[in-house]
Every structure is written in C-alpha cells, then in structure tokens.
A and B are shown apart, each in its own frame.
Chain A
C-alpha cells in the first residue's frame, strides 16, 4: 500500500501466497479506505507453501489454513468498485487479466487457485542439512 500511495502514477502489482495473505489481509481495508488502485494476485493453494517445502508432508497440521473465500474480502472490507475474481481455469485467468487491462484505473483483486500438490517437501537429505532432523546413526 505504501508503494501505491507513494507513486500513484505507477501500477503496483502484488503477488502473494494465501498463507502470507492471512497474516496481512487487513491492509486491504486500508487500501480501499485510502482509495489506492493496486493489482493483487493471491495464489491460493490452501497452505503455507514455503513451510511445507521444509517439512515432511502432513507433519505440521497448522500449515493447513482456513479456506477463506478471498475474492470476497475487498467487498467485505468496504472497497468500492474493485474488480474481484476467483479463477480456477486458465480461461478465467485470461478473462480476468483482459478485464483488468480494459480498466487500468480500477483496483483489482484476483484469487488464483493453485493445486496444493505443487507444494512438495525438499529431499530428506536437504532437510537434514538445514535442520539436523535425523538422529545420527554413527554414535
């Protein structure tokens, strides 16, 4: 939001995962209140993706996050005349981008569904190198 207010002549495009967005989404209300016009893409895979790459699948249930209907947030937060879409197919994504480009002065909020299956843990050796998770067998 700071970028959009500081440089109103530029289009600010934000790309965020849904996990991070759940920590910061209250700022959407501030954006609407201050009438900034960002382009926001929320990539929704239903999990804290960067955490899941670091741990074995299913180890930390708290990385699975509440299934918020993100594209309804701007309206709930009082943002007026925002283009809000939730897209699950490439066709819907293309249509949303086309709509955005036709209304360059409009604020845009696009939720893009991403398969959770894209999010896989790093190899066990790598995880051990980072976290020393494995019990040494040579002592």
Chain B
C-alpha cells in the first residue's frame, strides 16, 4: 500500500522516514521487528487528531455522479461511476498500482465491499481480512469527487 512514495516526496530527510512494512517497521536507523502493519495502522488512526466537525461524515458512502450518455465515448468520468454502482456487498476490489489507482482512492465503496491493492500470491498463501486497508486509504485519499 505504497501511496506516498509514488509522488516522490524526496525532500523529506531519510532520518525522518518511517517505513511500515508488512511485519516490521523502520524509524530512521532503528528497526522494530514483529510489528504487524494492520496493528500499526489501527493505532495511527486512533492517535490521529479528531476529524474536524466540518469534515465529519466525509467518509460515508456516496455515489459518484453519473456521466456520459449512450453514444458518448468511454472515459474515466463515465467508467468509475458505473464501476461503483456494480459493486455489491462481499465483492473484493483489486486495484492495480498505476494512474487508474488515483480515482479509486477517493471512490467510496458500498457496505461490505473490500478493497485491496493488487498483489499476486500473497492472499493465496495466507488469506487475511484487510478491512483496515480501505479505511486507511480513505483517510489519506487526495482525490475527491
């Protein structure tokens, strides 16, 4: 779930970096092992400042406005609202890490839909529930509809 480094935040000195890996964390030169990513994210969310009242409710489900008519050429504006509406409870949305990831970051999911960055094999080796993945992504999403 690498959201910030694709934007090349290269001006942050390395000794300020906190790298959260699947089961270990590096803070500057210090390494902490046996720390689960899920636990870290849950704790960070709890420690984060309270969301201002003006933004409360921003994470509730809302639909992207429909765009495009029958004969219009397909486009991102026409695709994502339809993707959102076809998802149903129980579905897993797998996201490829590329430019199509950006609109998906801000897309609210219907209740019971899970979102997961693309990964091959890992879920097969050890299927896990990752409800925190979307919760965390939603809170850092820069794209808003």
Shortest beta-carbon distance from A56 to chain B in Å: 16
* Interface SS of B by simple majority: loop
Distance between B43 CB and nearest chain A CB, rounded to angstroms: 26
Interface size class of A (residues with CB under 8 A): 35 or more
Beta-carbon contact of B94 and A20 below 8 Å: no
- Say whether B100 contacts A16, CB under 8 Å: yes
**Is A76 positioned at the interface, with any CB of B under 8 Å from its CB?**
no
Q: Which of A53-71 contact B (CB under 8 A)?
A: 53
Are the C-beta atoms of B99 and A2 separated by less than 8 Å? no
How far is A135 from B127 in the complex, measured between Cα atoms in Å?
Answer: 49
- A-chain residues with CB within 8 Å of residue B83 when the two chains form the complex: 13, 15, 41
A16 lies within 8 A of B7 (CB): no
Residues of A within 8 A of B118 (CB): 14, 16
* Residues of chain A within 8 A of B119, CB atoms compared: 2
The smallest beta-carbon distance between B100 and chain A, in angstroms, is: 5
| A103 CB to nearest chain B CB (Å) | 13
Residue B69 CB within 8 A of the other chain: yes
- Name the residue of chain B whose CB is nearest to the CB of A113: B74
Taking each of B69, B82, B87, B94, which has the highest tally of chain A beta carbons within 10 Å of its own beta carbon?
B94
Are B71 and A91 touching (Cβ within 8 A)?
yes
**B71/A90 in contact, CB under 8 A:** yes
In-complex Cβ contact of B122 among A2, A87, A90, A94 (8 A): A2
B96 and A20 form a contact (CB under 8 A)? yes
With contacts A19-B98, A43-B100, A118-B76 taken as known, whether A13 is within 8 angstroms of B71 at the C-beta atoms is no
Given A1-B120, A90-B68, residue A49 in contact with residue B98 (CB < 8 A): yes
The chain A residues found within 8 Å of chain B, CB to CB, are 1-3, 5-7, 9-17, 19-21, 24, 27, 41, 43, 48-50, 53, 87-94, 97, 100-101, 112-115, 118-119, 129-131
Task: Enumerate 18 A-B pairs (CB-CB under 8 Å) in ascending A order.
Answer: A2-B122, A3-B92, A3-B94, A5-B124, A15-B93, A15-B94, A17-B98, A20-B97, A43-B100, A88-B73, A89-B72, A89-B73, A90-B69, A90-B73, A93-B82, A113-B74, A118-B75, A129-B11
Other than the given A49-B99, A89-B70, A115-B73, 18 more pairs (CB < 8 A) read A1-B120, A12-B94, A13-B86, A13-B92, A15-B100, A16-B98, A16-B100, A17-B98, A20-B96, A21-B96, A24-B120, A41-B79, A89-B73, A90-B72, A93-B79, A93-B82, A114-B75, A114-B76
